[in-house]
Structure 1
């Protein structure tokens, strides 16, 4: 009997309501960091989901959800028009493409048929509405992403990233894949280093797409092109619509009546423009971002209603909102919601779907009725609901930083209604340095932040110069100055809070992953004496190693952040924490996935060995089977608990949790 006959009907996850004491109980005095918290590592990983790509087909909503409880497996889900939820892909399938290593755009759907990339073999599969996946097409060394169904020609159009067997740089093209017969693959667009975002015009006669070349990243400069289909389905008559080496174009999208809409940062902000018959026009001019760094395929911040209204999620001062835009006049109407982070916005007939996060709600899948303005949460990223007595709310701060500038952050005070710190004692502070480094900290409820604040830590989540959400000039502060601006801003955020008397200046810690891991290690090496401890998650210690040993998508990223390599070899060495270990006077813990292709494991190993030789307290926690960003519940749980144990030993408090001991080299005996 077919697997499809037993598709699970999944209920919405129930909230786990956490409480430990009555609201009337007097708080107990205890050292900061040692507070007992209901927000355990088990509670964080239980029923947690990593929600991703969304698609709409009629009244049905499809999405991908990553499940830490299933070793990070990504599952294709569907919410039917009748409200029931289907798990579309069975065990053994992982809906994830390896293109660009970061993936995205892993499936497309039309007429109840989905096509998805399976992570294990990187082949494409066809998923019918009520049966098991069917093998569709695959090529040795090829990865597919960002597909769209070209129904008039019975084919898919997709990005193909072909990895040669000899280890040469992968080749990225746009290809057509036949839906019938032998599923023949034909190249439609080639020549650039990267291609993305293929979009068919409503009449099916034109194809729009983005492309860019080394050393640019897509937020540096991209080109938006449009071509016509000839009688054989090949692309001809290609014209450039917008973009270039110094102009980033984001998310081409055709309106129902055939105008090509796109976001360009030519004004200093990703504003909306339209193009038709060779002529461009400005639709919306605002100090707001209608685009974001294209780290993954298929990202979306706007779409069209059937009558041509644009529904968009602009970001202003680092916080997202929701607006309806008249395509002809550019007039905007705010759509009120509690969500301050909005991603993956898709527009259907009378409704929209998006990933939304608020200060009280983790990133969740939301359906909003455009007529009534009412919304429904279809899938929660976390079933964890924290009692208000343990919930630390984000407080936006603007603080002075280097060169007379200001930078942005969200501050979370230590919060636990059952405990208070001893008189005269201030809480330790954890400074968060996000990844990217063009990513963005948001005020969305984050269980990991609450893990720390409910134990007596204050946390500041820093949007250092280089972060997105504040315009192009802010994003470009990091150009040529990575390892300077980001570190200065993290240090200055901490010192600003110390000066305000809100945290203990003698117990400052810094933590971050990926690029944030580099900032963490750099802060310890280049600003000694500021931080007592640091936690690097798959961070970069040696910039030269990264420049020589990373994947194609980011292989020239450091050209803009540091300088061309090897011409700027001396600067790479000067900015590499591994060469400044002699200056580190802090304790360091390193976490690393051994299957990481973005920041290879040798980076953490090099730093561990160097700090160990230096004689400073250091620990290294590797995870087999994990890549860039931990996906399995066991790795997430272990890393959180190990970090807490580490802080307890080096900052001088005893956690209330029962924690597995951790080997820490060079730690003085108690």
Structure 2
């Protein structure tokens, strides 16, 4: 490393962070759990076709993949999946039950036996088949173990032809070819259900349920039922929740009391048997995008492991009697919504601006935390990594907008004197979600080259209470677009960013915000739009999956009542308003934002002519890119777009062909 910092044009700084390195570090471990005394979890493998591997940490500290390729431990329930595995010990041997992504069947596997996984559930030729989530092994009738889980069963070929219910699957494989051998535990009284939590004495069950048009962060019901002599769930009663109260999670304490997280007071706080537990103006819960998300976990000693905070979620241990809350010491500043407990031990997934997500174990007895899996390793000199800042900006009407600002950073290079760097404004997906301020080499790919990045937690984001979250009600395409623009213009006005070199970028709901920003503002010089929502009317009329099929009723309004609003806000209805060059990236197997909508939009753009653009479509990719080769191509294409529009060279990166009529298409 040289002693003298030299000047070089923004965007052209030499960086050791290539697209392949960024792709290799993409993704995070998920769903840690205990199998006996061992901690197991899933983790991404971009170089292995984007599969998720099941990994175990043995007693001697070594890690090993439980299943070889192409086994892929991932559920498709509600398309976003959820907890796809569970494990136990039988006869001194580990037994794991998991969902295989390709066929969505449940499998039983004893990794120490040398045998191949054995299917537990049948295939179905109807619609999307049989899908499973939140499996738990339990003693069954007649001494035979069962797997209790949520079944998503398609009854027809349409995305909404399905039902969801609790089912018991024989662990001995007797239902592998026989649908009739699956034991239905509950009636299909609600459109959506989470996995049943069984009381310590085995007599009662609790779960969450909700129905269209609500999303789970709008309102859910906490249901409790007895377990009958026949081993099924009795008639449930509603204990909490409703149309305007979101219960995010429910668990039983060791002494048989119910503990849940509800936002009835404006923040997701904990309640025990209906009484608030240490209420605070911070979140002890979050948006339930996937069954099996956990923000808290009761310990046998009466303490509760919790994730809590405003914006970022930190790991702590709460004493519900004294309200004492002690956070885990360590370098982790944000944790994913996944916890597991065993005795005095807590397994979690934490990260920080200089650390990627890794599996962390907290010993609550000793008060010590350590990394036990998927450990962060510096793939590059940390001097090339950005130093993000949390900031609060002000939108036009005075409302606060939270954001994470990542200025360009390089140990040996700075920009020319008097010149301001280009900035990419990133809108997160969801939109009812948030983005963690955790090391992301895709961001470092740009900042190490002299391009700033800012992630905007626009109104509607989670982590800041229900009022902040509700700002997006019937305002999607307005508040999100305004908040992103306010942040971009504020950065330019204060001299942080070059006003003429601002880009907007997002995927999924963030892709919607990016496209809408290009169509309805003049803030940005270009944009990157990734598997987006483009046509609200089509999205609300059956062109997406069941889970989000009524989402727009809260984000935009009922289609039957405000059809013109759907047309006015849709970028797909107004392609002529897009004057800035853009790159559009799409997975060809995306069930959430199907390629048909993207291609209709492109046809209208081409018919109008004039605006340079490129379209890259990827075989084998769905909603969220998982394969290393896809991520490399997409990242390099994005950099090439900025180079061409912002006027700098990007050596070593394939030139993205921008066209005004036909758009480049290919993986």
Aligned residue for 2:137?
A: 149
Aligned residue for 2:169?
A: 177
Q: Once structures 1 and 2 are overlaid, which stretch shifts more, 151-160 or 93-102?
A: 151-160
Q: CA RMSD in A?
A: 1.6
CA 1:181–1:424 in 2, change beyond 3 Å: closer, same or farther? closer
Cα distance, 1:48 vs structure 2 = 4.8
Aligned residue for 2:324?
A: 331
**Cα shift readout 1:19-48 (whole Å, capped 9, x = no counterpart):** xxx152x22221111111111112112365
Aligned residue for 2:120?
A: 136
For the 8 Å contact 1:65–1:76, the answer to whether it is kept is yes
For the 8 Å contact 2:525–2:580, the answer to whether it is kept is yes
For the 8 Å contact 2:361–2:372, the answer to whether it is kept is yes
For the 8 Å contact 1:581–1:614, the answer to whether it is kept is no
Report the Cα distance in structure 1 between the residues aligned to 2:396 and 2:166, rounded to whole angstroms. 44
Matched, 1:29 2:7: yes
Cα distance, 1:90 vs structure 2 = 2.2
Cα distance, 1:581 vs structure 2 = 1.9
Cα distance, 1:182 vs structure 2 = 2.4
Cα distance, 1:309 vs structure 2 = 0.8
For the 8 Å contact 1:322–1:337, the answer to whether it is kept is no
SS in 2 for 1:236: coil
Aligned residue for 1:54?
A: 32
Cα distance, 1:147 vs structure 2 = 1.7
Aligned residue for 1:77?
A: 55
SS in 2 for 1:158: strand
Aligned residue for 1:342?
A: 335
SS in 1 for 2:236: strand
From 521, 524, 527, the equivalent of 2:518 is: 524
- Describe how 1:372-387 pairs up with structure 2 within 5 A: 372-380=366-374, 383-387=377-381
From 473, 487, 490, the equivalent of 2:467 is: 473
Report the Cα distance in structure 2 between the residues aligned to 1:574 and 1:47, rounded to whole angstroms. 40
Unaligned runs of 5+ in 2: 176-180, 662-667
CA 1:382–1:551 in 2, change beyond 3 Å: closer, same or farther? farther
Cα distance, 1:166 vs structure 2 = 4.1
Report the Cα distance in structure 1 between the residues aligned to 2:353 and 2:34, rounded to whole angstroms. 27
CA 1:151–1:487 in 2, change beyond 3 Å: closer, same or farther? same
Aligned residue for 1:13?
A: none
TM-score of the superposed pair, with normalisation by structure 1? 0.92
Cα distance, 1:304 vs structure 2 = 2.1
CA 1:491–1:572 in 2, change beyond 3 Å: closer, same or farther? same
Q: Once structures 1 and 2 are overlaid, which stretch shifts more, 198-207 or 54-63?
A: 54-63
Cα distance, 1:274 vs structure 2 = 1.1
Aligned residue for 2:104?
A: 122
From 567, 570, 576, the equivalent of 1:573 is: 567
Unaligned runs of 5+ in 1: 1-21
Report the Cα distance in structure 2 between the residues aligned to 1:258 and 1:524, rounded to whole angstroms. 54
Cα distance, 1:662 vs structure 2 = 2.1
- Describe how 1:213-362 pairs up with structure 2 within 5 A: 213-275=211-273, 280-316=274-310, 318-343=311-336, 344-362=338-356
Matched, 1:553 2:547: yes
Cα distance, 1:152 vs structure 2 = 5.2
SS in 2 for 1:552: coil
Cα distance, 1:472 vs structure 2 = 0.7
How many residue pairs are counted as aligned between the two chains?
A: 638
**Cα shift readout 1:203-253 (whole Å, capped 9, x = no counterpart):** 111111110000011111100111111111121142211111111001111
Cα distance, 1:384 vs structure 2 = 4.2
Report the Cα distance in structure 1 between the residues aligned to 2:25 and 2:219, rounded to whole angstroms. 39
Matched, 1:413 2:380: no
Matched, 1:159 2:153: no
Report the Cα distance in structure 1 between the residues aligned to 2:346 and 2:59, rounded to whole angstroms. 13
From 490, 495, 502, the equivalent of 2:489 is: 495
**Cα shift readout 1:645-668 (whole Å, capped 9, x = no counterpart):** 11111111111x31122221139x
Q: Once structures 1 and 2 are overlaid, which stretch shifts more, 359-368 or 476-485?
A: 359-368
TM-score of the superposed pair, with normalisation by structure 2? 0.93
For the 8 Å contact 1:47–1:69, the answer to whether it is kept is no
Aligned residue for 1:628?
A: 623
Cα distance, 1:565 vs structure 2 = 2.1
Aligned residue for 1:600?
A: 594
Aligned residue for 1:5?
A: none
From 610, 619, 624, the equivalent of 1:615 is: 610
Aligned residue for 1:42?
A: 20
For the 8 Å contact 2:120–2:169, the answer to whether it is kept is no
For the 8 Å contact 2:61–2:372, the answer to whether it is kept is no
SS in 1 for 2:468: helix
CA 1:607–1:383 in 2, change beyond 3 Å: closer, same or farther? farther
For the 8 Å contact 2:384–2:409, the answer to whether it is kept is yes
CA 1:504–1:365 in 2, change beyond 3 Å: closer, same or farther? same
Matched, 1:445 2:442: no
Aligned residue for 2:644?
A: 649
Q: Once structures 1 and 2 are overlaid, which stretch shifts more, 50-59 or 391-400?
A: 50-59
Report the Cα distance in structure 1 between the residues aligned to 2:173 and 2:533, rounded to whole angstroms. 47
**Cα shift readout 1:550-599 (whole Å, capped 9, x = no counterpart):** 00000100110011123321111011012222222211110000000000
**Cα shift readout 1:128-185 (whole Å, capped 9, x = no counterpart):** 1313211111241110111222225422221111112343521111112222472421
SS in 2 for 1:649: helix
For the 8 Å contact 1:65–1:77, the answer to whether it is kept is yes
SS in 1 for 2:512: helix
SS in 1 for 2:73: coil
Report the Cα distance in structure 1 between the residues aligned to 2:23 and 2:471, rounded to whole angstroms. 36
SS in 2 for 1:596: coil
